[in-house]
Structure 1
Amino acid sequence: MSTDPTAVTEEPARLLVGATEVARYVVDPALDARHGPRPYLHPVRTLGGTVVTDALPADHVWHLGASLAVQDVDGVNLWGGRTYVRDVGYTWRDDHGRIVHTGWSRRSADLLAHQAEWRDPHGRVLLTERRRLAASAVTPDVWRLDLDSALTAPPDRSVRLGSPATNGRPGGAGYGGFFWRAAADGEPTVCTADAAGEEAVNGSTAPWLALAGIGPGGGAYTLVFAGLGPGDRWFVRTAMYPGVCAAFAFDRPAEIPAGTTRHGRYQVWIADGALPPDRCATLASDRRS
């Protein structure tokens, strides 16, 4: 199948702030199963036009802009790429599922809402999801993305969420959840209110996290993330690649009990320019709907 990020079977939806397109939402990408096909946002732009996401990069082809993705959902890889196997390491396996868009409940310029199914390689439904994405203006140089997700387990079985870290990989590789692969020319900077740098920030539970970089066209930008849920932690990479994840299973597996729903609400402030930490904190303090 195609690995072209523009190859889809349904046209991408658009998110606008006023008359400005700030993101495209690809709900049905025509991708190889090994890339973890799933709905994703790309390109996401600042109000000034700087692209702040990357999709299918050469270093990790399965990184798809901004998306929800987990490497271990009851043993099914819904992240893409190789699977980390305890005492073995990363291994190519035929365990790739897909997150399938099953219908829209609302589409407007600033709000997208739909349903999806998290499926195993044979099409069995592992989880059902209701998802809502909204774009809103904050200031002339900042807009906010809100992503709400409700993941529901089947009535007859619980669902376990894991990561390479919970499967034995050392080094704080607890990724899997709401993941943002950033676009950056050079290594970006990352900070929270009381820490700076990848090593200090990775694994933290800070209420907000900011990543600042230079986009592919030379424009400076800042992304401010908030929305960790109970048990979540920040997974961060800046040296190997630029990425931030609100990780569900950073150092221990998470579980969605049978018939119950895991709710997540994530906010990202997308700003032109390099914002100082005090302004990042001010933005993150306003989490009104």
Structure 2
Amino acid sequence: MNHLLSPIVAGAWRMASWNLTPQQRLRWIEQNLELGITSFDHADIYGGYQVEQQFGEALALAPALRHELQLVTKCGIKLVSPARPGHRFHCYDTSAAHVRASVDNSLRALRSDHIDLLLIHRPDALMDAAELADTFAALRREGKVHHFGVSNFTPSQLELLHHRCPLVTNQLELSPLRLDALHDGTLDQCQRLGLRPMIWSPLAGGRIFTGEDEAARRVRHALQALADELGTTITTLVFAWLLRHPSRPLPVIGSQRIEASREAVAALDLKLTAEQWYRIWTAGAGHEVP
């Protein structure tokens, strides 16, 4: 995983709502590449099954770029959608048939002959780990998918699948307003297994900037004070806080604004002290360490 993905990942979750032309989407891809963000995070369901298609349309305008970037996508959630008329109920599905169909759909939409990293999007109570591991192995042999991981899995759920098929990441939620993964064994497991976690919603879906609840105001105040001391921005500081963890996280920045990507990349050069890191943790937790 060390060289599989760029240290900051561009998230395309909201691309369908950006209302960009294919050329504008291509420029967004190019600008991220110019910043050293070479990995792009997708899921088949994003934008009601439209985002992968939109990204693929943009990439088709400059197909040589495919060799400069890594495509991450997810499957395993079935939405009831006009784009998937065979889906009759919102549920999870990690059967061989569904995973294979999802991969083929993603490859067509993304205009690519392979996916660099495929994740199971959510834990499926009916997941047959042995069957899924066999499916992964077949997809790798066929050259359709190069690496595999999971998203939002608990340590025991990851262990069940990792035992049968080596995984490279667990994509999970973590921010100064969502500290669970620091203390529930998820990041401990990542360190133990040498998996670099991917981090979604590092800015708490914008709540860090606009939330009016007590926790959001408390975190925002602490971040602004420390950002002023360090001569940086809140966005850069939050990404530096994430990157400080020894599991070596790979945060996903899901913004149309290239300035936000630039601020995230700036965090690679900002190393927080333990005291600075715990100032932010304390604001998020609402209390000092015991």
Q: TM-score, normalised by structure 2?
A: 0.27
| Larger of the two Rg values belongs to structure | 2
Identify the structure with the greater helix proportion.
Answer: 2
Identify the structure with the greater strand proportion.
Answer: 1
